Amino acid sequence: MTSTVNGLGAAAAAAGHAGHLGTESARREHGRLGEGAYRGPETLAAARKGLRVALPEPSSRYDQNDEWCVVQQPDGSWSEFRFHDYHRIFDVPGLYEKIFYDVLGCDTPRFMADLFADALAGSREAADDVRVLDLGAGNGIMAEELATIGVRHAVGVDILTEARDAAERDRPGLYADYLVADLTALGSDAARTLADHRLTALTVVAALGFGDIPPAAFRTAYDQIADGGWVVLTLKDAFLAEDDTSGFARMIADGLASGALEVVRRERFRHRLATDASPLVYEGIVARKRGPLG
């Protein structure tokens, strides 16, 4: 199974694995890499620290859709968790942060919040005037980063009840509202609720594609944002390539060509490591919404 176990007894193994691309040379190679360390409240930090997670052998390569790890249970046995089984991961306090931040070096919400802050500063717009719809909000890490840059009003949307429960459990008070909804079939009550929030920015971080948020749901969220508002998104670079079949490359390319999307910042960055320690490269885009997507 694995040689990479983290947790108290094997901290060196975890540091060796996640630390591999955290070196200065890796930072130069892959651009602005984050610290890969999320600083949450103390109880969450303690829960994270107590968890033991093991990855598959680094020589096994999995499609990003099929990645998995095993997690030690209170009785000492190990259970397998597919990375895309978010409902199970969110049920365990600290597990999402342990897997993606501590072991796999993700720092994407902080990276994107900083990029957004740069764009806001460049447009002389105050972060506390922005009213964010955070789509695929998960357990609220993006809301925490948005609060750090000065955003005072964020509304979370996620398809999973477990995500909303985890956000309320681990980061209470960050979202003004948190809707559990499928935006491919937005009900009229939920649509009214979103309209009442007078949203001026959409953030979608680490949540587009891969059987997660499809283009149709992104469009619905986009339509909730006022013209002149902001769109902050990350996408795996392959979804922006010409041969992409997910629909995202076409949607973004058409949005840019029509002028509906005006890019303010666009950067390639390392989203996280794959379980074989190779970097997963994403693009981060901060754009102004200038009109409807075609």
Ligand X SMILES: C[S@@+](CC[C@H](N)C(=O)[O-])C[C@H]1O[C@@H](n2cnc3c(N)ncnc32)[C@H](O)[C@@H]1O
Footprint on this chain of ligand X (rule: CB under 6 A): 86, 109, 136-138, 141-142, 157-160, 163, 182-183, 205-207, 212-213, 217
Which of residues 154 and 163 has its CB atom nearest to ligand X in the complex? 163
Cβ-proximal residue to ligand X, closest one: 138
Contact yes or no for 178/164 (Cβ under 8 A): yes
Minimum gap (Å) between residue 82 Cβ and ligand X: 12
Minimum gap (Å) between residue 265 Cβ and ligand X: 18
Which of residues 5 and 183 has its CB atom nearest to ligand X in the complex? 183
Which of residues 118 and 212 has its CB atom nearest to ligand X in the complex? 212
Q: How far is CA 219 from CA 126, 177, 289, 293, in A?
A: 26, 20, 12, 7
Which of residues 159 and 202 has its CB atom nearest to ligand X in the complex? 159
205: burial class by Cβ within 10 Å (0-12, 13-18, 19+)? Answer: buried
| Angle ∠(199,221,142) on CA atoms, nearest 5 | 70
Minimum gap (Å) between residue 259 Cβ and ligand X: 27
Minimum gap (Å) between residue 100 Cβ and ligand X: 7
DSSP conformation letters of 219-247: HHHHHTSPTT-EEEEEEEGGGGSTT--SS
Minimum gap (Å) between residue 25 Cβ and ligand X: 27
Which of residues 13 and 81 has its CB atom nearest to ligand X in the complex? 81
Enumerate residues 6+ apart whose C-beta is below 8 A from 76: none
Instruction: List beta partners, residue 285.
Output: 233, 266
**Residue 98 in 3-state DSSP?**
helix
